[in-house]
Amino acid sequence: MPRSDGYTSFVNSGVGKKVASALGLPQPVPLRRYAPGRPLVDGPVLVGGHADTPAVSALRDGLTAAGATLVDAVPDGPRLGGVVVDLTAAETPADLESLRATLAPALKRLGRCARVVVVGRDPERAGSVAQRAARRALEGITRSVGKELRAGATANLVLVADGHEASALGTVLFLLSARSAYVDGQVVRVGEREVHAAPVDAERPLAGKVAVVTGAARGIGADIARTLHRDGATVVCVDVPAAGASLAAVANEVGGTALQLDVTALDAGTRILEHATTRHGGLDVVVHNAGITRDKLLANTDAERWDSVLRVNLLSILQMNEALLAKSGLRDGGRVVLVSSIAGIAGNRGQSNYAASKAGVIGLVDGYAADRGLVRRGITVNAVAPGFIETEMTARIPLATREVGRRLNSLAQGGLPVDVAEAIAFYAADAQGAVSGNVIRVCGQSLLGA
């Protein structure tokens, strides 16, 4: 459901465009968003990079199969839908010139909501100091390009492991596609696991999967349920009994089931697992989305406010995962997706309890992703960290504060709940078997905590 705030509509009108341009005001454009049947990108994709570009070589067939028209030089005709620059072969900072040479002419020929995807390698795995510097430099370049881009275009960096370049196909496709509309200036690490995903229906990558979404009655949670369903999953919608009416509406809309329970209940994990197993035969994807805010300056935060936020947003996840991640829980190849927040990264005045819980969630991702037992079972654990998302909750923020929140990012607008949901659906697919331990910010490259 393409929605747009009033300002974005204004600056995209004839007179508004002139006014915004004359005053040097931000000029957000309606972002390209995914709908089944839409092409991967609107325009040819330039591929290039340094030396023998091993990543581009490994990805070329996959990108083409996904519908991308690859070009090796900036074409005269149509504007570019995207650029994939492969710097995996960079040995020293001098090699970064290859990136500049590929990207600079292309940036002037980008279409609306075009995509820049830089592919590099993990600095921590570098063989020399010079190589490490070159690899680290990619992050600075990508983030700067993200800020330079206009008209809804984004720039992101993918770090791939040596010899496992093909495992990054799903990630590169996500970052090129309209599904990543509000993902900008991010670094996604793709690990060494081989992905043997059988060729799936690209429009239903989650076909046959059973997913649980907590906090599904409204807002971002409801859109997560809708998006996972759109991608083919059977969705168990969970929320507190008091939210049962809207929960039922969401569950019926997505043809799933409603499970009314409080995630802080001691047996919440067991009950979710039992429901998924008896009703749907098992569990593949868990999205821990349920969360609350009880905002107050720390100086005025009593134990109750502190405790309730930590219990719902953090402790309940640990507690539920005892059952969900047990051997009898999530099936092999399962996916756990947590919802952090930009507040957990940057901190936020009056949200020390919330920030504690959301930073803690990142700790959970690190911890679970390193768990050898989970790795052996092919279970990945990742998080999204939403920035300013247009929800009922943010609609209640006072206008001035809300406007600042909306504009302080490279896309000069708030994201939509579906943008968060798309990132979650991305993690959930089989193709992302090598993506674990990531925290992708869905924030339009917000200035906060960057």
Binder among 260, 264, 308, 394 for other proteins (CB under 8 A): 260
Q: Give the interface segment with other proteins, choosing from 120-128, 169-177, 260-268, 355-363 (CB under 8 A).
A: 260-268
Q: Distance (Å, rounded) from C-alpha 187 to C-alpha 155?
A: 10
Q: Which stretch binds other proteins (CB under 8 A): 275-283, 364-372, 384-392, 413-421?
A: 275-283
Write the DSSP string, 111-147: EEEEEEEEEE--GGG-SSHHHHHHHHHHHHHHHHHHH
CA distance 244 to 224: 17
- What is the Cα–Cα distance from 308 to 240, expressed in whole angstroms? 14
Show the DSSP H helices in 166-207 as ranges: 169-176
Complex with other proteins: residue 258 or 346, whichever CB lies closer: 258
CA angle (360 as vertex; 356, 364 as ends), nearest 5 = 170
| Shortest distance, position 292 Cβ to other proteins, whole Å | 17
Work out whether 252 is an interface residue with other proteins (CB under 8 A): yes
Residue 275 or residue 441: which is nearer to other proteins going by CB?
275
Residues 147-166 that bind other proteins (CB under 8 A): none
DSSP at 134: H
For other proteins, which stretch binds (CB under 8 A), given 188-196, 252-260, 292-300, 316-324? 252-260
Active site residue 7: no
Name the residue nearer to other proteins (CB basis): 216 or 369: 216
The one segment of 5-13, 200-208, 251-259, 390-398 that binds other proteins by CB under 8 A: 251-259
Q: Tell me the C-alpha distance between 206 and 230, whole Å.
A: 9
Q: Is 241 in the site for other proteins (CB under 8 A)?
A: yes
244 lies in the site for other proteins, by CB under 8 A: yes
- Which is it for the CA torsion 181, 70, 136, 105, positive or negative? negative
From candidates 251, 325, 362, 429, binder to other proteins by CB under 8 A: 251
Q: How far is CA 58 from CA 54, 71, 166, in A?
A: 6, 16, 5
What gap in Å lies between CA 375 and CA 63, rounded to an integer?
27
Please, which residues have CB within 8 angstroms of residue 303's CB and are 6 or more apart in sequence? Answer: none
How distant, in Å, are the alpha carbons of 142, 249, 308 from that of 150? 14, 38, 41
Q: How far is the CB of 251 from other proteins (least distance, A)?
A: 4
243 binds other proteins (CB under 8 A): yes
How many Cβ atoms sit within 10 Å of the Cβ of residue 25?
A: 15
Q: How many residues bind other proteins (CB under 8 A)?
A: 26
Which is catalytic among the residues 182, 354, 368, 427?
Answer: 354
- Assess 258 for contact with other proteins (CB under 8 A): yes
Q: Which residues bind other proteins (CB under 8 A)?
A: 237, 241-245, 247-249, 251-262, 265, 278-281
The residues carrying an active-site annotation are 354
